[in-house]
Amino acid sequence: MTRDVIVVGGGPVGLMMAGELRIGGVDVVVYEKLPTPPRESRGASFTRRTAECFEQRGLLGRLGETERADCHFGGIPIDLSMFEEDHFSARGISQYRTERMLEGWVTELGVPVRRGYEVTGFRETPHGIAVSFDGPDGPGEDTASYLVGCDGGRSTIRKLAGIDFPGSASTRGFYTADVTGIDTRRRRIGEDLPDGSMIMAMDLENNVTRVVVHERGMPPRDRDSLTYTHLADAWQRLTGESIHHGQCQWLGCFTDASRVAAEYRRGRVFLAGDAAHVQPPAMAQGLSVGVQDAVNLGWKLAATVNGWAPGGLLDTYHTERHPIGQQLARNARAAIELRLTGEEMDPVRSVMSELVAYKDAAGHLAGMLSGLGIRYTMGPGEHPLLGLRMPPDRELTLHNGSHTRIADLLHSARGVLITTNSSTELNQLATGWSDRITIITSTQPPDPTLNTVLIRPDGYIAWTAPGSHHELTDALHHWFGTPHTTATTQPSRRSSQAVISGGTT
């Protein structure tokens, strides 16, 4: 039996990808080489936009209470209280906890997660991809129409596909550990020392403290040669405090390497998450951007499997997400240099500190760091919200008096057309796409500056009114293919790409 999609990698990105595909009606399986879920947590937070992505699928509440995280760029604090909209990230959520939530979700959806299966190769067939693996019962093969590599920075899928991974090599090393039994001053966004060293200490759940150390001149190091004593010795040299008595629950290391795959798609093979982009964790963006990759690709791949995707839809995954990966890598490198270059960087730090006091400058950085500033090119139209995400917490009152939120309308990963009582003609025009979009009539618009809006399944605004009926038809064709009933005006071809700006709704 040939499946629709095989996802390689059972971390948060692979699980999110599988869930997105499954709610789109796709037969999907996950292959993960680790026999059991890891207990360590490389990530301990996620951005505001990623929190919104979880909320769009009804998942955020499963994580329970989250702590609001401070915002900084290269150690320079950004005052988020100056903005009307909430830009705060979620902190104190271990990656293990996020993975556990996502695995529970995909299990409920009926997605098989095959742990202990290491993918060793793949080959193209006339109708798809044949994937080879080594599993608990020996080698085997599975087939699918498409293959998605979510298997981390050392991605087997990327290497087998022959996709280049250009970027900057590592020059610095960082030690990190989760420790219990220590009482040290919290340094949540890190503390930069005059010589270009850096230390961080933040609370996780269950009385665990995450500590990070970079001592100037510390080279990249292989994880197998690192011990907790190495980290504790460096901590003591930099702070004068001893944490040698702590109980190390997990120990890791990372570098300042930064790379972005040259192609996010090659034929029937896709890359997402760290398989597509790696960067130093200066802004806690890795998990967040990977989840957003999954939300961008999932509905497009599902549309293709289900037969209604317009031509070129799958190509928009690369054109929209590759610029995000490139800018993420650039910004992370800039933040690392700002933090860890010695006193010679002090004049730049001083200028940056002055700039972030201005709302426009701070807004640009906040939109970039939170993910709320991402704007995709959607085609014709000049509305300032076009291409931005629609805030999922916006409430609507329906014509029958009931209430709902944008997030609730996106739980099924369908497109959404929201019209007001005065625009029922648009509802009728869109009925040909009612098998793939939800058509809603609200007593008030979702934003004061527009009265009708078309939202993609990933939450981004694809069309707004004021605008002609022809433009709506064009947008529906462009993103949702040919209608299942009477054909309408044929669409024009459009390009799609992404930019990140500070503009937020």
CB neighbours of 46 closer than 8 A, spacing ≥ 6?
89, 90, 93, 98, 284, 287, 288, 291
- In contact, 51 and 440? CB cutoff 8 Å: no
Successive 10-residue mean pLDDT values, the chain, 505 residues: 94 98 98 89 82 96 83 85 77 83 98 98 94 97 98 97 95 93 82 83 86 91 90 95 95 92 98 95 80 99 98 98 95 88 87 93 91 91 92 90 95 94 76 94 86 95 81 94 67 41 41
Task: Fill in the amino acid letter for 233.
Answer: D
> Domain locations in the chain?
2-168+258-370, 173-255, 376-495
Here the tokens at position 364 are 């640009």
Q: Distances from the Cα of 108 to the Cαs of 8, 102, 105, 111, 409, in angstroms?
A: 19, 10, 5, 8, 20
- In contact, 484 and 358? CB cutoff 8 Å: no
Give 499: exposed, middle or buried? Use CB within 10 Å, 0-12, 13-18, 19+. Answer: middle
8-state DSSP, 160: H
Q: CATH topology for 376-495?
A: Glutaredoxin (3.40.30)
Q: Which residues pair with 173 in a beta bridge?
A: 255
Say what the pLDDT of residue 393 is: 92
Task: Fill in the amino acid letter for 468.
Answer: S
Number of Cβ within 10 Å of residue 445's Cβ equals: 19
Say what the pLDDT of residue 467 is: 62
- In contact, 147 and 270? CB cutoff 8 Å: yes
Task: Fill in the amino acid letter for 406.
Answer: I
**Coil, helix or strand at residue 235:** helix
Please state which CATH class domain 173-255 belongs to. alpha beta
Here the tokens at position 380 are 């014709």
Say what the pLDDT of residue 496 is: 43
Indicate yes or no: pTM above 0.85.
yes
User: To 10 degrees, what angle do helices 346-355 and 315-340 make?
Assistant: 120
Residue bearing tokens 């967040």: 288
Half-sphere exposure of 178 (CA within 13 A, CB side): 18
Say what the pLDDT of residue 494 is: 37
CATH entry 3.40.50.920 includes domain 2-168+258-370: no
Here the tokens at position 79 are 């005052």
Say what the pLDDT of residue 500 is: 42
- In contact, 223 and 253? CB cutoff 8 Å: yes
Say what the pLDDT of residue 477 is: 96
Say what the pLDDT of residue 462 is: 96
Say what the pLDDT of residue 324 is: 96
